[in-house]
């Protein structure tokens, strides 16, 4: 299985969006995730299991403003 995350191919991952975030050491409450062109609500992070060809963009937010 090959998925694209922030422009880079991942071949050694299977799981849902929450598990992908964990693998990347990102906190689920500090990210915006686009899955195949659609923004995801946080409630869906557990429900969506990645499949071959999926494209994911993750923006991780830091504090300050």
Partner 1 sequence: MVTEKELFNALAERHGVEIQKKFANSCVGIAGLGGLGSNIAVYLTRLGIGKLILVDFDNVDITNINRQNYVLSDIGRPKTTALYEHLIKINPYLNYQLHQVKITSENAVSLFSGCDIICEAFDKPDQKAMLIQTLLSTLKDVKIVSGNGMAGFNTANLIKTTNPIKNLYICGDGQSDISDGLGLMSPRVAVCASHQATMIMRLLLNENNV
For partner 1, the binding residues (CB under 8 A) are 6, 29-32, 34, 37, 39-42, 57, 59-65
Task: Compute CA distances 58 → 19, 20, whole Å.
Answer: 13, 10
Task: Count the helix, strand and coil residues of the chain and give each as a percent rounded to the nearest 5.
Answer: 20, 30, 50
- Select 14 or 30, whichever has its Cβ closest to partner 1: 30
Q: Write down the least CB distance from residue 57 to partner 1, Å.
A: 5
- Select 12 or 65, whichever has its Cβ closest to partner 1: 65
Nearest Cα to 5, choosing from 34, 26, 29, 25?
34
- Select 14 or 46, whichever has its Cβ closest to partner 1: 46
């Amino acid at each position: 299985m090959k998925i694209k995350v922030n422009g880079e191919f991942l071949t050694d991952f299977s799981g849902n969006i929450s598990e992908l975030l964990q693998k990347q050491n990102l906190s689920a409450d500090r990210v915006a995730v686009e899955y195949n062109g659609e923004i995801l609500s946080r409630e869906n992070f557990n429900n969506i299991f990645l499949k071959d060809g999926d494209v994911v963009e993750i923006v991780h937010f830091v504090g300050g403003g």
